[in-house]
A and B are shown apart, each in its own frame.
Chain A
Amino acid sequence: MSFLRSLLLILIFRPLALFMTGADVANRERLPLKGPAIIAANHSSHVDTLLMLAIFPSKALRRLRPAAAADYFLRDPVIGWFSRRVIGIVPVARAKAGSGEDVLAPAREALAAGDIVLVFPEGTRGEGETDEMGRLKSGVARLAEAFPDAPVIPVWIQGAGRVLPKGEVVPVPLNCAVLVGEALHWEGSRPAFMDTLRTALLALKAEAPPLRWRDG
């Protein structure tokens, strides 16, 4: 399975992502090569996941597990098989949040197994095409608390919302910039951690090339 996944990701998904986005990565050397590690990125499109899978060094690719909504990606057997086996998702049961059930259990297991978990703290893709950052959910802080030695790497993805905005089905090739920030570490407080993460993401966004997407 892992071999098939690597093969598909490297031979099909990587060229596809390069064609669609150009994958303009800044500070690629900051990406973690071994787990446990957490990557926290903004989310505006399905292209985000594809792009992260495409820019990861091949030798660390088998460790990369994108967290994804169970209600959306496991809704039917075909997409579910694809999401689990090819994308390698860690399911998050959004619907059960607050019910007392630990929705982050699969993510914890992955981190415990030494995987690199990719999370989108906004929880869902942003609605606007302007790539404004939404409100961050604190699940990422709980993961960092549970694995205080795991670095949290903030990543800003600029432009994916134009390649394939929410609600559209036809992707359009346009350049995307991926800005990798310096690793953050858990320092004992959830609100403080979320503040640091938000500041780090906004600082990366400020460095990204401008998006001139006029709203008519």
Chain B
Amino acid sequence: MTILDQVSRFLADQPPVLLQGLAGVVVLLGLAAAIAAVLPLLKPEKSYVELRLRISSWWVMVALLAGALLAGWPATVAMFALISFLGLREFLSLAPTRREDRFAILAAYGVLIASYGFIVADLYMFYLVFIPVWVFLGMPFLMAMLGQTRGYLATAATFHWGLVTCVYNLGFAAFLMRTPTVEALPAGAAGLVFFLLLATEFNDVAQYVWGKLLGRHKILPTVSPNKTWEGFLGGWLSAGLLIWFVGPVFTPLSGLGLAIMAVVLPVAGFAGDVTMSAVKRDIGVKDTSHAIPGHGGVLDRADSLTFTAPLYFHLMALYALDRF
């Protein structure tokens, strides 16, 4: 059997809707790249280096995530574990910690491995309580045993905030991959994750574009000076319409559940973005790192996802999935 046959058989085994969705993303990105190529001709006085960098990085991110989704749940869980690790490392590097906390930082990476271990083992109930209850108790106890009480409460809270956002919340996106095939899913479990990522990132991009085009009135100047009411409302409307019309193609949601998702998910994306901005402002940095050219750090890109992933998961569990 030639490689070409293997590839076509592999693709034939995938839900056709998922492949069409991925193709749609490639077309959208191609369109964005074409616009970015034409813009400098129309307005030669402005620099579009940043925009081109952003789009180039999107190609890489889309290729990695699409590859993981097509390869199945182990690859997708590994990919999200990596995203969680990069995010947590960025957060723990910027947040105030104490010299004694080096051991607690190691323990936090251990928590990440254990938490994703519950996803691999498909132990949903264990996953649900592990970080919010047992790590919540265990990490402060470990810090007490390390013997340093100065700044203790603030540091314990810092670690918990990082673990919940970067590991627990992002992990819900990976746990969607464990939805059993017996459930009626239009694009498989991968379709659920695909649509979560599509809706979240589309909301981010729509807010950015509407803000650039129409932005006049600042929404939260003390936290995130570039955010405007026009960007927020435009993004909300665009992403809401996308969820309402495209959601049923990739997810089993319909009716009330779909309507709630369409209204609430864009707001959650905005909330995640603003919350991470407040953290960055407090720490005194603009970006969490330079890991993704044009975008900043992994947390700069995944900030809205830390809010939308658990929301999306819980609405799915409530309205559409029997497993959870």
Contact = CB atoms under 8 A, between A and B. Distances in A.
Interface of A: 22, 24-26, 129, 159, 162, 165, 168, 170, 172-175, 209-210, 212-216
Contact of A213 (B86, B99, B283, B289): B99
Contacts of B100: 216
Interface residues of B, number: 25
Contact of B151 (A24, A26, A162, A216): A216
A215 B148 CA distance: 10
A168 B109 CA distance: 18
Contacts of A209: 93-94, 285
Interface string B29-63: 00000000000000000000000000000000000
Contact of A214 (B86, B96, B285): B96
A131 B290 CA distance: 21
Contact of B89 (A22, A170, A213, A215): A22
A210 B96 CA distance: 10
B285 A212 contact: no
A216 B284 contact: no
Nearest to B287: A209
Contacts of A26: 290
Contact of A24 (B95, B97, B289): B289
A165 B285 CA distance: 24
Given A162-B93, A215-B99, 18 more contacts: A22-B89, A22-B93, A22-B291, A25-B290, A162-B102, A165-B102, A170-B102, A174-B92, A175-B94, A210-B283, A210-B285, A212-B94, A212-B95, A212-B96, A213-B97, A213-B99, A214-B99, A214-B151
20 contacts: A22-B289, A24-B289, A25-B290, A162-B93, A168-B102, A172-B106, A173-B105, A174-B92, A174-B105, A175-B89, A210-B283, A210-B284, A212-B96, A212-B97, A212-B283, A214-B96, A215-B98, A215-B99, A216-B100, A216-B151
Contacts of B102: 162, 165, 168, 170, 172
A70 to B, nearest CB: 30
Contacts of A129: 99
A22 B90 contact: yes
Nearest to B106: A172
Q: Which of A168, A212, A215 has the most CB of B within 10 A?
A: A212
Given A210-B283, A214-B151, A216-B148, A175 B98 contact: no
A130 to B, nearest CB: 10
Interface string B81-125: 000001001101111111110100110010000000000000000
A162 B104 CA distance: 13
A69 B105 CA distance: 31
A174 B150 CA distance: 22
A25 B95 CA distance: 20
Nearest to B158: A212
A210 B289 CA distance: 12
A40 to B, nearest CB: 23
B150 A216 contact: yes
8 A-B pairs closest in CB distance: A212-B96, A175-B93, A216-B150, A174-B93, A216-B148, A216-B98, A172-B102, A214-B98
Interface in B300-321: none
A22 B289 CA distance: 9
B166 to A, nearest CB: 13
A54 to B, nearest CB: 15
Contacts of A159: 93
B193 to A, nearest CB: 25
Nearest to B85: A173
Contacts of B151: 214, 216
Interface string B269-296: 0000000000000011100011100000
B93 to A, nearest CB: 4
A170 B291 CA distance: 25
Nearest to B95: A212
Q: Interface centre among B89, B148, B151, by most A CB within 10 Å?
A: B89
B109 A173 contact: yes
A170 B106 contact: yes
Of residues A159, A170, A214, which shows the largest number of chain B Cβ atoms within 10 Å of its Cβ?
Answer: A214
A45 to B, nearest CB: 12
A175 B127 CA distance: 27
Contacts of B148: 216
B290 A24 contact: yes
